């Protein structure tokens, strides 16, 4: 039994060994088949499949010769250097097949696109041209109406233009955009050249470029505009204002410009004969005119208005422009031409600032209000330089010390080449003629110096016109001249102040009782005389002095009268004035001496009277005192006699009493003796 079991185990082991051997043989066979298959796949089938797909792709490229691999989407070969490299790195037939199909589709699609592009090339080129023009603008500029208009016009031209002329059209549009940008930024020296001022800017271009660069560096970026011009205001006479469109009118108002109007009384304003002669000469055509050096009397029309404030200098300029009704009036505030700190830091001088302002005004009128340029490429306007004495070379010093004296105008006028000078009418106004260099208001520059200051003759003329001269006292009518101190007060008058503040006339011709200075004055001071204020002491003196009149009046002089009026005007007290005259002046030396002399006489008389009264009073007091002393002495003497008698009696009584006591003491001593 034991052996049977052993045989079964051996038989089982033998069977298992045979099975394992058979399995190894099968595994080896499968491995050999796989190795052979893999070798066939990689060495025969895969290269053959790759070559087939590659050939199809290359054939597709040949058929579509306009298609190059570079034009295809590189994502097809997933960032490999080229599609062949990518194909050689594919190991599955499905991948090779899929890649081949994608490549063929991409080539066909690109071929169709290229054909479409070829057919659509003109349209695309034109679209690209429009994009090119738009690319020349910033995002902000694309929203500006002016830029939008240029792009719209450019687009219309491009649609109608052949491909050969396309570059010319788009470059021209870019040039227009640049000009619009230069216009907006105020870079006039980069803009188209028109007139003498533009040529001057070009000649000094480097100065402007340096200034623009310095300003940009200071700000860290290009500023929106090159704003160095002075402050100016354009006033359009009636017909020119009416010719403006509503849009232009709104633009004008938004920028501080507007319609030129005149107050009703200004239309009848009267100036000196010399000024009216100049006005009548200039009014038909208010331009500069020509100067004949051979005939010194034949001057051009440029003028210098001078005189104290409010004497009608600005009114004359406005009146001339309004009544001529041909050209705008451009008013420049003189103080705004003074170079400020940023100007100095950028190297902008007074002359540069002035010429730049002139160029800005011309561009403004031409670009924004469609004013036509004349033959000399200027736009006609009347230039009025107000507060000319405030034009300084620097802001660091007071106007008195840094006054330019308008010498910069010599650089703009008086040359031999008149084509390089403005043909517009230039007028400068100053309150102080001595602050203007004499060379500026000579022939060929500001050829007509005109004095606007009132004189006593002017004042009496208007007083006659107003019908009040008959109320003038005799001591006024006899005095036909004034000294320098008095003359400065009458110099300040002008027609507006004379009518409105001196006479109290309103615009409609009615009289305002609160402003009737003259009537209040003359009604309360008949004959232009007044009674000076006196203190109580002086009043008592005059009451005691029968030789002095109690109501002595003083005559008011021209100068005192004028100065009194202007003190009320300057302190805004004219309406509160009730008629009482208060002399605004301190008395002069002669007057003081006369007053002192009179006061001394009055004081001497008063002292004499006071001393006499004091002596009399003192003597009376002394008499009363002496009498009182005498009475006191008599009373004292009587009282003393009585006192002596009483005292004597008292002594006698006392001595008697003493004697009695002595006697009594002797008796007692004897009785007690041993």
| Strand duo 258-259 + 232-236: pairing | parallel
| Of residues 461 and 609, more confidently modeled | 461
Give me the mean pLDDT over the 629-643 stretch. Answer: 68
Tell me, what's the pLDDT at 148?
Answer: 92
Give me the mean pLDDT over the 27-40 stretch. Answer: 82
d(CA 571, CA 664): 112
State residue 287 phi and psi, 5-degree precision: -115, 180
503-510: list long-range contacts, CB under 8 Å, 24+ apart: 503/466, 503/468, 505/265, 507/263, 507/264, 507/265
- From residue 374, alpha-carbon distances to 357, 380, 576 in Å are 19, 7, 55
Tell me, what's the pLDDT at 4?
Answer: 61
Average pLDDT, the chain: 84
Asked whether the beta carbons of 136 and 147 are under 8 A apart, the reply is no
Instruction: Write the secondary structure of 132-170 as one string of H (helix), E (strand) and C (coil).
Output: HHHHCCCHHHHCCHHHHHHHHHHHHHHHHCCHHHHHHHH
| Of residues 403 and 278, more confidently modeled | 278
| Closest alpha carbon to 522 in 479, 582, 473 | 473
DSSP state of 436: S
| Closest alpha carbon to 56 in 90, 27, 20, 99 | 99
Q: Is the pLDDT of residue 673 over 60?
A: no
Asked whether the beta carbons of 364 and 330 are under 8 A apart, the reply is no
Tell me, what's the pLDDT at 81?
Answer: 84
| Strand duo 448-451 + 303-306: pairing | parallel
Asked whether the beta carbons of 423 and 376 are under 8 A apart, the reply is yes
Sheet of 382-386, strands arranged across: 258-259, 232-236, 329-333, 382-386, 425-430, 303-306, 448-451
Write out pLDDT tens, residues 421-433.
999 999 999 988 8
Tell me, what's the pLDDT at 595?
Answer: 54
Q: What is the DSSP string of 250-317?
A: HHHHHTT-EE----GGGGG----HHHHHHHHHHTTS-B-----TT-TTS--S-EEEESSTTSSHHHHH
For the chain, domain boundaries: 18-120, 136-183, 229-452, 457-585, 591-626
| Of residues 134 and 660, more confidently modeled | 134
- From residue 120, alpha-carbon distances to 66, 110, 117, 493, 591 in Å are 16, 14, 5, 80, 106
Of 5-9, 225-229, 358-362, where does the model show the most confidence?
358-362
Q: Is 300 left (phi over 0), alpha (psi -120 to 50) or beta?
A: beta
Q: Is the pLDDT of residue 265 over 80?
A: no
d(CA 48, CA 175): 62
Q: What is the DSSP string of 157-204?
A: HHHHS-GGGHHHHHHHHHHHHHHHHHHHHT-GGGS---SHHHHHHHHT
Write out pLDDT tens, residues 468-480.
999 999 999 988 8
Of 12-26, 269-283, 608-622, where does the model show the most confidence?
269-283
Write out pLDDT tens, residues 317-371.
999 999 999 999 999 999 999 998 888 888 888 999 999 999 999 999 999 999 9
Q: How many other β-carbons are positioned within 10 Å of the β-carbon of residue 519?
A: 16
DSSP SS3 for 123: helix
- What whole-number percentage of the chain has pLDDT above 70? 84
Instruction: Write the secondary structure of 69-100 as one string of H (helix), E (strand) and C (coil).
Output: HHHCCHHHHCCCCCHHHHHHCCCCHHHHHHHH
d(CA 336, CA 388): 10
Work out the pLDDT band at 674, boundaries 50, 70, 90: very low
d(CA 607, CA 609): 5
Tell me, what's the pLDDT at 24?
Answer: 83
Tell me, what's the pLDDT at 635?
Answer: 66
| Closest alpha carbon to 429 in 374, 472, 390 | 390
Write out pLDDT tens, residues 518-566.
999 999 999 999 887 654 444 555 555 555 555 578 899 999 999 999 9
Q: Is the pLDDT of residue 672 over 50?
A: no
| Of residues 385 and 393, more confidently modeled | 385
Q: Give the domain 229-452 fold.
A: Rossmann fold (3.40.50)
Our measurement of the distance from residue 539's CA atom to the centroid of its chain's CA atoms, rounded to an integer in Å, reads 58
Q: Which of 239-243, 288-292, 373-377 has the lowest mean pLDDT?
A: 288-292
484-490: list long-range contacts, CB under 8 Å, 24+ apart: 485/559, 486/557, 486/558, 486/559, 486/562, 486/563, 487/455, 487/456, 488/308, 489/559, 489/562, 489/563, 489/565, 489/566, 490/454, 490/455, 490/456, 490/458, 490/459, 490/558, 490/562
Q: How many other β-carbons are positioned within 10 Å of the β-carbon of residue 360?
A: 19
State residue 26 phi and psi, 5-degree precision: -65, -45
The string over 175-210, giving b where at least 16 C-beta atoms fall within 10 Å of a residue's C-beta and e elsewhere, is ebbeebbbbebbbbbbbeebbbbbebbeebeebbee
Of 62-76, 214-228, 323-337, where does the model show the most confidence?
323-337
Write out pLDDT tens, residues 47-68.
888 888 888 888 888 888 888 8
Give me the mean pLDDT over the 575-580 stretch. Answer: 92
Q: Is the pLDDT of residue 644 over 90?
A: no
Tell me, what's the pLDDT at 647?
Answer: 65
Write out pLDDT tens, residues 645-669.
666 676 777 767 776 666 665 454 4
């Amino acid at each position: 039994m034991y052996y049977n079991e052993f045989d079964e185990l051996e038989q089982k082991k033998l069977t298992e060994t045979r099975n394992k051997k058979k399995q190894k043989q099968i595994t080896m066979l499968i491995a050999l088949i796989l190795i052979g298959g893999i070798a066939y796949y990689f060495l025969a089938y895969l290269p053959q499949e790759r070559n087939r797909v590659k050939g199809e792709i290359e054939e597709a490229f040949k058929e579509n010769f306009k298609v190059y691999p570079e034009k295809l989407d590189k994502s097809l070969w997933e960032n490999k250097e080229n599609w062949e490299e990518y194909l050689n790195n594919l190991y599955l037939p499905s991948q090779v097949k899929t890649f081949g199909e994608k490549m063929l589709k991409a080539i066909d699609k690109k071929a169709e696109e290229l054909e479409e592009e070829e057919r659509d090339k003109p349209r695309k080129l034109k679209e690209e041209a429009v994009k090119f023009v738009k690319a020349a603008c910033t995002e902000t500029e694309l929203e500006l109406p002016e830029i939008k208009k240029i792009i719209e016009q450019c687009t219309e031209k491009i649609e109608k233009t052949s491909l050969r002329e396309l570059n010319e059209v788009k470059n021209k549009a870019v040039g227009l955009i640049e000009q619009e940008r230069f216009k907006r930024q105020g870079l006039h020296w980069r803009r188209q050249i028109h007139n003498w001022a533009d040529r001057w800017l070009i000649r000094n271009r480097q100065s402007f470029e340096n200034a623009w660069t310095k300003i940009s560096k200071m700000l860290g970026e290009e500023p929106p505009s090159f704003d160095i011009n002075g402050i100016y205001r354009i006033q359009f006479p009636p017909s020119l204002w009416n010719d403006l469109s509503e849009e232009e009118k709104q633009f004008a108002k938004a920028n501080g410009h507007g319609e030129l109007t005149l107050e009703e009384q200004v239309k009848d304003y009267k100036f000196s004969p010399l000024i009216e002669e100049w006005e009548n000469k200039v009014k038909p055509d208010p331009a500069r005119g020509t100067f004949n050096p051979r005939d010194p009397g034949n001057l051009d029309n440029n003028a210098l208005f001078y005189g104290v404030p409010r004497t009608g200098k600005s009114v004359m300029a406005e009146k001339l422009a309004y009544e001529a009704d041909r050209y705008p009036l451009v008013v420049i505030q003189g103080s705004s031409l003074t170079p400020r700190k940023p100007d100095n830091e950028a190297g902008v001088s007074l002359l540069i600032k002035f010429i730049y302002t002139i160029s800005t005004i011309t561009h403004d009128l031409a670009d924004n209000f469609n004013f036509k340029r004349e033959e000399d490429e200027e736009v006609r306007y009347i230039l009025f330089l107000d507060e000319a004495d405030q034009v300084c070379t620097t802001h660091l010093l007071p106007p008195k010390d840094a006054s330019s004296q308008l010498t910069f105008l010599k650089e703009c006028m008086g040359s031999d080449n008149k084509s390089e000078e403005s043909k517009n009418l230039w007028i400068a106004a100053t309150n102080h003629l001595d602050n203007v260099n004499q060379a500026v208001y000579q022939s060929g520059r500001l050829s007509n110096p005109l004095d606007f200051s009132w004189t006593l003759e002017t004042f009496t003329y208007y007083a006659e016109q107003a019908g009040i001269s008959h109320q003038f006292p005799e001591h006024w009518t006899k005095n036909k001249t004034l000294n320098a101190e008095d003359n400065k007060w009458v110099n300040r008058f002008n027609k507006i102040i004379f009518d409105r503040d001196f006479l109290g006339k309103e615009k409609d011709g009615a009289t305002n009782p609160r402003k009737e200075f003259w009537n209040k004055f003359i009604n309360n001071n008949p004959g232009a005389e007044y009674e000076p204020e006196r203190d109580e002491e002086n009043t008592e003196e005059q009451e005691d002095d029968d030789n002095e009149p109690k109501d002595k009046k003083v005559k008011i002089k021209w100068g005192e009268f004028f100065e009194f009026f202007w003190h009320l005007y300057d302190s805004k007290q004219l309406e509160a004035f009730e008629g009482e005259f208060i002399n605004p002046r301190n008395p002069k030396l002669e007057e003081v001496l006369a007053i002192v002399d009179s006061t001394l006489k009055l004081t001497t008389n008063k002292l004499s009277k006071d001393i006499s009264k004091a002596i009399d009073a003192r003597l009376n007091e002394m008499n009363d005192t002496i009498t009182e002393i005498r009475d006191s002495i008599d009373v004292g003497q009587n009282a003393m006699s009585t006192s002596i008698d009483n005292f004597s009696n008292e002594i006698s009584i006392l001595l008697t009493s003493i004697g009695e006591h002595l006697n009594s003491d002797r008796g007692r001593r004897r009785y007690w003796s041993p």
